[in-house]
């Protein structure tokens, strides 16, 4: 027993948590749980306070002179990501390639570079969600060969060239944008879809940033992977025994085959 955040109660509750891997057929909208394991948090020792600095002067800000770029594909995986990797490796070994799998869906908690690298090492593409305030940049298109990052994106002031679709419902407009971007914490470019919702009268706005490591996904495919199948899994989970017991939280990484119904 431990304390875990429960999405049903919207707060931490004492109980059990589980990682579940489910296979989802995109055509028939069916979810098939294949592997479930209990989450047991590792015992961590309290960190000692750093010794006080001997000098009263602060270090210089910015990058140290002569430092080299880090290889962002080499990452230290968290306990949760190691757990997911172990489950996924065992599942893929059991399936033996009988069903072609392409995508791993993780929720926004895992929308970071380490999750991308773990997923790519397993031969899959990640579909997840970025923080709403993520710093995203267009690739630099100029003549300076040493420069990598271009203009910074503002998700609420996107250029028309990235607009894919718009719909209006009552007093709200929903705009769908898609663009390939760079993030300074990620090793490779990201395929990003921004959903921007605007209140037409008050101009109040809100946005969500979905992404995938698969640069070939269209905007509607990426949205379909993240939202439609996610709702299917959550609806299935609400009907299950875990929900009835009330004090058990689920963390649900999902794997998808776009070729299997």
Q: Across residues 128-155, what is the average pLDDT? A: 94
Give tens-digit pLDDT for 45-54: 666 667 766 5
pLDDT higher for 261 or 160? 160
Distance CA 39, CA 20 (A): 10
Distance CA 112, CA 26 (A): 25
Q: Is the dihedral of CA 9, 14, 16, 18 positive or negative?
A: positive
Out of 3.40.50, 3.90.350, 3.40.1130, 1.10.3470, the CATH code matching 2-41+77-257 is 3.90.350
Distance CA 181, CA 190 (A): 5
Over the chain, what is the mean pLDDT? 83
Q: Across residues 65-71, what is the average pLDDT? A: 73
Give helix 79-95 / helix 113-121 axis angle, nearest 10°. Answer: 20
pTM value is 0.79
Distance CA 214, CA 256 (A): 13
Distance CA 153, CA 6 (A): 33
Quote the pLDDT of residue 260.
Answer: 41
The b/e string for 76-104 (b: 16+ C-beta within 10 A; e otherwise) is eeeebbebbeebbeebbeeeeeeeebbbb
| Environment class of 217 (CB within 10 Å of its CB; exposed 0-12, middle 13-18, buried 19+) | buried
Distance CA 42, CA 2 (A): 11
Q: Are 175 and 166 in contact (CB under 8 A)?
A: yes
| Environment class of 11 (CB within 10 Å of its CB; exposed 0-12, middle 13-18, buried 19+) | exposed
Quote the pLDDT of residue 239.
Answer: 42
Confidence of residue 218 (pLDDT cuts 50, 70, 90): very high
Distance CA 127, CA 25 (A): 15
């Amino acid at each position: 027993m431990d304390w875990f955040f429960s999405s049903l109660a919207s707060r931490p509750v004492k109980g059990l948590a589980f990682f579940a891997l489910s296979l989802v057929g995109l055509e028939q909208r069916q979810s098939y749980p294949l592997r479930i394991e209990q989450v047991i948090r590792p015992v961590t020792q309290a960190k000692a306070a750093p010794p006080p600095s001997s000098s009263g002067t602060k270090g210089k800000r910015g990058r140290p002179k002569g430092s080299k770029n880090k290889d962002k594909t080499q990452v230290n995986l968290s306990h949760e990501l190691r757990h997911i990797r172990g489950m996924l490796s065992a599942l893929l070994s059991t399936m033996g390639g009988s069903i072609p799998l392409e995508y791993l869906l993780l929720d926004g908690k895992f929308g970071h570079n380490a999750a991308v690298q773990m997923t790519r090492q397993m031969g899959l593409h990640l579909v997840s969600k970025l923080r709403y305030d993520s710093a995203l940049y267009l690739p630099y298109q100029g003549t300076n060969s040493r420069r990598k990052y271009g203009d910074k994106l503002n998700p609420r002031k996107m250029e028309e060239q990235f607009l894919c679709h718009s719909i209006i419902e009552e007093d709200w407009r929903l705009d769908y944008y898609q663009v390939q971007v760079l993030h300074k914490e990620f090793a490779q470019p990201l395929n990003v879809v921004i959903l921007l919702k605007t209140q037409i009268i008050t101009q109040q706005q809100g946005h969500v940033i979905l992404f995938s490591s698969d640069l070939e996904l269209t905007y509607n495919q990426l949205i379909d992977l993240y939202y439609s199948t996610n709702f299917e899994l959550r609806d299935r989970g609400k009907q299950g025994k875990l929900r009835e017991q009330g004090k058990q939280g689920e963390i649900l990484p999902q794997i998808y085959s776009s070729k299997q119904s």
